[in-house]
Amino acid sequence: MTSHRFSALGPLTGAISVPGDKSISHRSLMFAGLAVGRSTIAGLLEGEDVLATAAAMRAFGAQIARNEDGTWTVDGVGVGSLLEPKTALDMGNSGTSTRLLMGLVASHAITATFVGDASLSGRPMKRVIDPLAMMGAGIEASAGGTLPLMLRGASPAVPITYRLPVASAQVKSAVLLAGLNTPGITRVIEPVPTRDHTERMLTGFGAKLEVGVENGETVIAIHGEADLKPMDVTVPGDPSSAAFFMVAASIVPGSDLTIRNVGLNPTRAGLLAVLRQMGADIEEVNPREVGGEPVADLRVRHAQLTGVDVDPAIAPSMIDEFPVLFVAAALAKGTTRTSGLDELRVKESDRLATMAAALTSVGARVEEHEDGLTIHGTGGEPLRGSANGRVKTMLDHRIAMSMAVAGLVSRDGVMVDDTAPINTSFPTFMPLLEEAAR
């Protein structure tokens, strides 16, 4: 374990670039790996999760290489032509890799075994198993529908119309990916909108995809069997990684920080809206579109935040940003209430319980409910911090980074028990923090 004390460093200033978007990085490797021909990817996030996707796509027959200039070249294997992996696919900590690749295998005549680390092996896969089994895939999972798991694809798979029982972009994407090699039209009905990177990027790669509205619900239809064409992808900066710096610059007095090239897809920009509602000073500079995704530079200046009641309807568009929002709430004036966050209990850790305990241990006033937290802010006064003890992050990268941000506004600093998990999504987090606070 690599523990580290994060202490008040002074204002965050200058300009930084966060790594490429994780969701888009995963998908760019998968879809380029399914196209026939050569694609180039710039700005790929080179964290452990995305590298697990690259390794799996190689096992399916795609050729993937990193070039000296940091771009990646992918020679695809073609939809319908996946090879059967010779060994189990190790997904590490990546729920996205697992659920999307399960969808891919489900409509190919191959068998693949998925394994992962202890944290991933506790996460629910039944939400993906159910629709894929309806399409004809054979799935043998561990007790409780978790990894390790063996999946036998169906050829041909059967097109289905599937209404999402939980708001999950990963489940939606798994069904759409299975639909790529399924004759006919596969439909997903989405009662609550979730991130739409799959739809945007599949369209860019040449899939025939229609998005419509029926009875107030979004319906996404994909036509199989698809032929994907190669495409050059530029991955925007990850809004979930930018989130830590948006909150840090908002709550550290004297800060004026620009975060370059941040993806502002509306299905992901919930935190930006909530921070502005709390009184944050965040300006979008040079808004532009890159590869079908909206992007801007964000200039964030310190502001006194005020507690708010967070609308549960916004949760899917900021589900990964709640841990760091809780830190912003702990420094705000007044009370912040969140609800409708049951999904946070089945992330890399139970993020409601873990953040409630972590923030309480550094002096914040937090009440935990079944589906959210109520946080009584300090009004901008520094948190006490953790003089002696270590904050338990439960091997969860977002908890570790959120508590690092809390350390920047604490009297005694915050000792994070293990910073190693940060590498799964944001390998440059600690160097960037030091650069911004110089």
Q: List residues forming the annotated binding site for 3-phosphoshikimate.
A: 22-23, 27, 168, 170, 320, 347
Q: How far apart are CA 265 and CA 142, in angstroms?
A: 36
For residue 320, indicate whether it is catalytic: yes
φ/ψ of 37, rounded to 5, equals 125, -170
List the alpha helices (DSSP H) in 115-256: 126-134, 169-180, 197-204, 239-251
HSE value, Cβ hemisphere, 13 Å, CA-based, for 295: 19
Helix, strand, coil percentages in the chain from 3-state DSSP, rounded to 5: 35, 25, 40
Please list, residue by residue across 386-422, b when 16 or more beta carbons sit within 10 angstroms of its beta carbon and e when fewer do: beeebbbbbbbbbbbbbbbbbbbbbebbbbbbbbebb
Pairing of strands 233-234, 38-42: parallel
Distance, CA of 296 to CA of 263 (rounded, Å):
7
Q: Which helix (H) or strand (E) holds 339?
A: none
DSSP at 42: E
Residue with tokens 């998908």: 27
* 132 in Cβ contact with 158 (< 8 Å): no
CA distance 236 to 289: 10
* Secondary structure element (H or E) that encloses residue 326, with its range: helix 322-331
Q: Return the structure tokens found at 209.
A: 């995809």
Q: Give me the residues paired with residue 294 across strands.
A: 289
User: In the structure encoding, which two tokens stand for residue 136, read together?
Assistant: 């004809």
DSSP state, residue 206: T
Residue with tokens 């043998």: 140
CA 309 – CA 260 distance, rounded (Å): 29
DSSP 318: G
Map tokens 């900590």 to a residue.
93
Catalytic residue chosen out of the listed positions 49, 320, 396, 412:
320
Catalytic positions: 320
